[in-house]
Structure 1
């Protein structure tokens, strides 16, 4: 039985783990590490500090697919819709621009529910707060080191973190990359942004007629999302900063940036009730601005023992980009884990 490590419990990592399980069944033991305290990655769903039943998505807000992607990824959409985790977006999003044939979906249980579904289907062992620092070639295996848990041996490794973080890893990864592969990883560019979630008491009335809207009259805020309250659970409001604002304040602590965003929110929506909880997130790597040249889907650094890089760095951001990358990485893994 091959022991495979997938680094990153986001959408690419979870779909890759699920596909690998379905393809190789009992022939593979899958382990997933993530440096965060939970799964989701940039599809994370957060709760207020008091851990109440309220929740809000701090990263991706909805899923948009094009006709070609919907056709090629139909089985994934069908699976998630049947499971009640994905449903057509039927609420008003002011300023949302569409191309003919595009379809929008919402997640009634939060964006992280999609990731958790595929992780559950994979049967993988999950370990959080495992921050990978280096990879070392040990014959037919890879020794993977983390900050907090020492090192472990694996027959294959899939790295799904953003390309800039891949380049920071120590050990034998760098020497294993060709000159062209190094150039392609360095060519990947991400936007950066901050997001803030405000949680309100059950009796709060935000008096907003829209579910979400894109903001056009602000230099610092670009998007607002309103989650209406239900009996016993108050409403929440999610604020996303603009890309320019994120870049300007990227090296500042989120605690210092949060008040700036809240002041702008007060200008945009004066008279909001006082929140009972606030969460702020800095996304250093938010969305792909420039993917690896050619958008190859994945990058095979070493064929045997397999060391594969995947994620939206190699395609595009969004649900379909992550699924496409996971499918691409699966082909390399299967080739590297089976007899020649």
Structure 2
């Protein structure tokens, strides 16, 4: 049985694991590692301490399917809707500019439920708080090292972390990359931003009716989401919460500051925009150093094969484009690259 490691429990990694399981079934042992304390990556859903009713999407907010992707990824969209993971986004979104034929979807249980669905389908062994530090070629296997000096051997490795984190890995990766591949990876760039989730008492009432709002007149804040309103205003048991995303220029300006220093600045701007907003009972601030891909690897099939046998593959939205369907495209492209190299 081949042992496959997927590093990164975000959308690309979880879907890779799911597709690989469906293709090879019991012929493969799949492990998914992530350095965070929870799965989801940039599609994670957060909760405040000691709360089961409140939740907020600090990263991706909803899924927009173009007419082309709705057709090419039809089976996936159908699966997610039939399972109740995706539902049409009916809440009003102020300032949203639509392309013809596109359709928006929301996740009643939060964006993290997308990743959890695929991980559940994959049957993979999920290990959190496992920070990979190096990848070394050992004959017909890969030795993957993590913090604390521990290491394990795998027959195939898929790296789905942000490209700058991939390039920081110790071991044989840098030696195996071609000059062209190295240049392509060096050219990948990301936007940066902060996200703040505010959780309110159960009886808190918002004075606005929108599910989300794009802000164009503020140097700090570019987007605000009314989480219950965005998902479904009638969702039972979903506590009132708000998510704020900062603009990219603001994120870049304050990128090297601690989030505790930046949070008060964001909250001050928020209460100027929404002066009637109640006081929260809990606040969570997150710094997205790698938010969305600005410059992806050009002319790429959705992944980059660094080594054929044993396979070492790089994947993620940096090899396509930065949205739900970009991650799906990447995961779909990885599948034949892996199955061609693994025993069937």
**Counterpart Cα distance in 1 of 2:27 and 2:207:** 55
Residue deviations 1:207-242 (CA, integer Å, cap 9, x gap)? 111110100110010000002376665310000000
- Do 1:202 and 1:232's aligned partners in 2 also have CA atoms closer than 8 Å? no
Aligned counterparts, 1:111-122, within 5 A: 111-122=111-122
Residue deviations 1:97-133 (CA, integer Å, cap 9, x gap)? 1111011000001000000000000000000000000
Question: Do residues 76 (structure 1) and 56 (structure 2) align?
Answer: no
Task: Quote the residue 1:101 is aligned against.
Answer: 101
Task: Quote the residue 1:278 is aligned against.
Answer: 283
Task: Quote the residue 1:141 is aligned against.
Answer: 141
The offset of 1:52, in angstroms, is 3.3
The offset of 1:331, in angstroms, is 1.2
Residue aligned with 2:341, SS: helix
Task: Quote the residue 2:159 is aligned against.
Answer: 159
- Do 1:49 and 1:278's aligned partners in 2 also have CA atoms closer than 8 Å? no
- Do 2:130 and 2:147's aligned partners in 1 also have CA atoms closer than 8 Å? yes
Question: Do residues 54 (structure 1) and 61 (structure 2) align?
Answer: no
Residue aligned with 2:20, SS: helix
Question: Do residues 187 (structure 1) and 191 (structure 2) align?
Answer: no
Counterpart selection for 1:322 from 320, 324, 327: 327
Question: Do residues 207 (structure 1) and 207 (structure 2) align?
Answer: yes
Larger mean Cα displacement after TM superposition, 44-53 or 262-271: 44-53
TM-score by length of 1: 0.98
Query: Structure 1: which 5+ runs fail to align?
Result: none
Query: Structure 2: which 5+ runs fail to align?
Result: none
Task: Quote the residue 2:305 is aligned against.
Answer: 300
Task: Summarize the Cα distance change of 1:100–1:268 in structure 2 as closer, same or farther, 3 Å threshold.
Answer: same
Question: Do residues 42 (structure 1) and 42 (structure 2) align?
Answer: yes
- Do 1:187 and 1:293's aligned partners in 2 also have CA atoms closer than 8 Å? no
**Counterpart Cα distance in 2 of 1:32 and 1:55:** 24
Task: Quote the residue 1:30 is aligned against.
Answer: 30
Counterpart selection for 1:263 from 263, 268, 272: 268
- Do 1:66 and 1:103's aligned partners in 2 also have CA atoms closer than 8 Å? yes
Residue aligned with 1:278, SS: strand
Residue deviations 1:267-316 (CA, integer Å, cap 9, x gap)? 10003111000011100000010100113300000000000000001001
The offset of 1:179, in angstroms, is 0.4
Residue aligned with 1:275, SS: coil
TM-score by length of 2: 0.96
Residue aligned with 1:337, SS: coil
- Do 1:135 and 1:171's aligned partners in 2 also have CA atoms closer than 8 Å? yes
Structure 1 ranges of 4+ moved more than 6 A: none
- Do 1:70 and 1:77's aligned partners in 2 also have CA atoms closer than 8 Å? yes
Task: Summarize the Cα distance change of 1:163–1:232 in structure 2 as closer, same or farther, 3 Å threshold.
Answer: closer
The offset of 1:49, in angstroms, is 2.2
Residue aligned with 2:121, SS: helix
**Counterpart Cα distance in 2 of 1:38 and 1:116:** 10
- Do 2:2 and 2:343's aligned partners in 1 also have CA atoms closer than 8 Å? no
Task: Summarize the Cα distance change of 1:113–1:149 in structure 2 as closer, same or farther, 3 Å threshold.
Answer: farther
**Counterpart Cα distance in 2 of 1:24 and 1:178:** 30
Kindly tell me the number of residue pairs found equivalent between the two proteins: 339
Question: Do residues 249 (structure 1) and 254 (structure 2) align?
Answer: yes
Residue aligned with 1:13, SS: helix
Task: Quote the residue 2:336 is aligned against.
Answer: 331
The offset of 1:65, in angstroms, is 1.1
- Do 2:57 and 2:111's aligned partners in 1 also have CA atoms closer than 8 Å? yes
